[in-house]
């Protein structure tokens, strides 16, 4: 429950919208119950006036009935508008907050989770949390406030009826919700867990569908998805039966409560303690107030699933940051020379990959790291980018990179990772991520230096050609050169290249290396660190080091 309250803390900027939604909810229930009560009293009073011949002023109550009817309709619309606006604003804040928490966890922490699991927590679990305000917090607040106000109203006209209704409202508003919450705890939790597993299986299956087809494993994957889907449906059916039980219980208590008020009120009418029209008013008011009590079981029914989603979200959001930042650092590197001294690092604790590595790349120098797979070439670049922690010392311009803020360090570095990601946009969009303010001339220069100019010129839409989701509309070699152009456009003093020519044919590879060398010779102050096992890339370095 503490994590659910933490949700309100994250959403505190939207408190005005949340409070307004609750106030409007209470106002709608008040208008509805009073409309029923005043209408019953008005009809009964008119009947008594007609039979007794006593004059009755019907203008004021009829005007009140019209006002309450309009207020109920307008209030219901406004309540829906405000509560949904609050929900959308809360979800927007929560997504941004969560993305900011996830960003420093990548890649060292997030890689321990399946891609579908991380996406599910960021999207589906966050979406599920909309129930916290819209279907849990707001209904609970509206129900409790409305019930308390209704009891005060009943006590004003008939204290015995208020006591009777207090008993049945306690049963309907507290007893029944507690039973519903107890029954829905396990199916609600399992429903959230199975839904997360289902999302993960579907996502992983779609991402690896080619391999599943090649291995003939489509049917097995389909069986896994089908079993998980059946499990989700089974738990949701259990929750549906529990909800039906709560609705039946609410109807039972409402009917019994109205019957008890009828009995008590009739005795008061017989004793001439209240006029007969007031009995009709109390009966209709008592029946209508159970709308407020009915909000509580439905809210508590959804609580376990929402709590499970909140636990999944906050479990990842609260994970320790693997590589702490130093945002208040005031130190600035004197140049862009890189020095590794006795550096050790690993992907997993207790399994070191790099041990006591020492090397230096002077300002404007270039070094090519080569060696067999698994010796830690790419890891060396990742720790320089502060994606992973390390032991020993790494300095840029004489300043330890631990003492630099990530913003400062990454502002000096452009990198092409081993598996570059292309976003679902155009070639231009992906290249200009490196420098959004770059002019057309700089973009064309980056295209030329990455050997993309001829290819782009032959496309019908040129730079506006879409690359597809994850670069699915371009080849692997084209995707890598787009990532290279993006890095070159950033135009910073340190350039890191991890297998920059992977997936290219021999002729294109030689041309890319030649153009890169030409560019780097014209900007001799750029420090370059290249990781590659391809012989052609050895020409990119002043020095070649084999790990």
Mind listing the pLDDT tens digit for each residue in 321-354? 778 887 776 678 888 899 999 998 888 777 788 8
Averaged pLDDT of the chain: 84
List 496's β-bridge partners, or say none: 415, 529
Rounded Cα gap, residues 198 and 225, in angstroms: 6
Q: Which domains does the chain have, with CATH numbers?
A: 2-317 (1.20.1560.10), 338-546 (3.40.50.300)
**How confident is the model over 415-429, as pLDDT tens digits?**
998 888 888 889 999
pLDDT score of 242 = 86
Of 14-28, 119-133, 474-488, the one with minimum mean pLDDT is 119-133
Based on its alpha-carbon atoms, the radius of gyration of the chain, rounded to whole angstroms, reads 34
pLDDT score of 485 = 92
pLDDT: is 486 or 47 the higher one?
486
Take residue 345 and report the two structure tokens written for it.
């690092």
pLDDT score of 520 = 83
Cβ atoms 319, 365 nearer than 8 A: no
Cβ atoms 261, 165 nearer than 8 A: yes
List 413's β-bridge partners, or say none: 494
pLDDT score of 4 = 66
pLDDT of residue 59 exceeding 80: no
Of 25-29, 269-273, 391-395, 491-495, the one with minimum mean pLDDT is 269-273
pLDDT score of 81 = 93
pLDDT score of 414 = 92
Mean pLDDT of all residues in 479-498: 91
pLDDT of residue 118 exceeding 90: no
pLDDT: is 128 or 402 the higher one?
402
**How confident is the model over 87-114, as pLDDT tens digits?**
888 888 888 888 888 777 777 666 666 6
Write out 139-171 in H/E/C secondary structure. Answer: HHHHHHHHHHHHHHHHHHHCHHHHHHHHHHHHH
pLDDT score of 111 = 66
pLDDT score of 147 = 85
**How confident is the model over 6-57, as pLDDT tens digits?**
777 777 788 899 899 999 999 998 888 888 888 877 777 777 766 666 666 6
pLDDT score of 124 = 66
Output the CA–CA distances (angstroms, integers) from residue 61 to 56, 66, 155, 358, in the order listed: 10, 9, 21, 91
Of 136-140, 218-222, 287-291, 378-382, the one with minimum mean pLDDT is 287-291
pLDDT score of 119 = 66
Highest mean pLDDT among 120-134, 190-204, 219-233, 259-273: 219-233
**How confident is the model over 278-328, as pLDDT tens digits?**
888 888 888 888 878 778 777 777 777 777 777 777 777 777 777 888 777
Please name the residues in contact with 10: beta carbons below 8 A apart, sequence gap of 6 or more: 93, 94, 97
**Residue percentage of the chain with pLDDT more than 70:** 92
Rounded Cα gap, residues 178 and 291, in angstroms: 18
pLDDT of residue 406 exceeding 80: yes
Work out the pLDDT band at 530, boundaries 50, 70, 90.
Answer: very high
Work out the pLDDT band at 123, boundaries 50, 70, 90.
Answer: low
pLDDT of residue 77 exceeding 90: yes
Number of helices (H), then strands (E), belonging to the chain: the values are: 21, 9
pLDDT score of 2 = 64
Helix H or strand E encompassing 188 = helix 176-207
Helix (H, G, I), strand (E, B) or coil at 422: coil
pLDDT score of 340 = 92
Of 9-18, 375-384, 436-445, the one with minimum mean pLDDT is 9-18
pLDDT: is 304 or 245 the higher one?
245
Residues 364, 452, 491, 105: what is their CA dihedral angle, to the nearest 10 degrees? -100
pLDDT score of 115 = 58
């Amino acid at each position: 429950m503490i994590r659910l309250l933490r949700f309100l803390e994250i959403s505190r900027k939207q408190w005005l919208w949340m409070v307004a939604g609750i106030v409007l909810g209470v106002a709608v229930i008040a208008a509805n119950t009073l409309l029923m009560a005043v209408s019953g009293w008005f009809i009964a009073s008119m009947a008594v006036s007609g039979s007794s011949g006593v004059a009755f002023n019907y203008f004021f109550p009829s005007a009140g009935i019209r006002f309450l009817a309009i207020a109920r309709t307008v209030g219901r619309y406004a309540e829906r508008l405000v509560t949904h606006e609050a929900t959308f604003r809360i979800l927007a804040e929560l997504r941004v907050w969560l993305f900011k928490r996830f960003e420093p966890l990548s890649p060292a922490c997030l890689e321990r989770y399946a891609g579908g699991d991380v996406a599910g927590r960021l999207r589906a679990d966050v979406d599920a949390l909309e129930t916290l305000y819209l279907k849990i917090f707001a209904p609970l607040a509206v129900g409790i406030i409305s019930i308390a106000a209704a009891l005060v109203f009943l006590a004003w006209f008939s204290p015995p009826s208020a006591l009777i209704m207090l008993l049945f409202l306690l049963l309907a508003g507290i007893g029944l919700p507690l039973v519903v919450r107890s029954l829905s705890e396990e199916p609600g939790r399992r429903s959230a867990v199975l839904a997360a597993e289902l999302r993960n299986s579907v996502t992983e299956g779609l991402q690896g569908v080619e391999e599943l087809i090649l291995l003939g494993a489509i049917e097995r994957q389909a069986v896994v998805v089908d079993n998980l889907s059946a499990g989700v449906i089974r738990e949701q059916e259990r929750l549906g039966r529990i909800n039906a039980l709560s609705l039946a219980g609410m109807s039972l208590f409402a009917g019994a409560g109205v019957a008890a008020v009828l009995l008590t009120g009739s005795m008061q009418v017989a004793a001439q303690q209240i006029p007969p029209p007031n009995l009709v008013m109390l009966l209709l008011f008592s029946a209508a107030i159970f709308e407020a009590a009915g909000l509580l079981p439905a809210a508590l029914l959804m609580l376990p699933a929402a709590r499970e989603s909140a636990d999944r979200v906050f479990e990842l959001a609260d994970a320790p940051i693997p590589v702490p930042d130093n945002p208040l650092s005031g130190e600035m590197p004197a140049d862009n020379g890189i020095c590794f001294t006795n550096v050790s690092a690993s992907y997993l604790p207790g399994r070191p990959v790099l041990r006591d590595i020492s090397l230096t790349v002077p300002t404007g120098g270039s070094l090519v790291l080569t060696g067999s797979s698994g010796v830690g070439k790419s890891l060396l670049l990742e720790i320089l980018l502060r994606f992973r922690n390390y032991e020993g010392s790494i300095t840029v311009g004489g300043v330890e990179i631990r003492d630099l803020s990530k913003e400062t360090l990454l502002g000096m570095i452009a990198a092409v990772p081993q598996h570059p990601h292309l976003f679902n946009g155009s070639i231009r969009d992906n290249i200009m991520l490196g420098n959004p303010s770059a002019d057309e001339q700089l973009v064309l220069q980056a295209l030329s230096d990455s050997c993309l100019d001829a290819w782009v010129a032959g496309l019908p839409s040129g730079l506006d050609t879409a690359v597809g989701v994850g670069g699915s509309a371009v080849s692997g070699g084209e995707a890598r050169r787009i990532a290279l152009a993006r890095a070159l456009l950033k135009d910073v003093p340190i350039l890191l290249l991890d297998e920059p020519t992977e997936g290219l044919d021999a002729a294109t590879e030689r041309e890319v290396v030649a153009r890169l060398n030409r560019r780097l010779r014209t900007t001799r102050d750029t420090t370059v660190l290249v990781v590659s096992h391809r012989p052609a890339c050895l020409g990119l370095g002043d020095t070649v080091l084999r790990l």
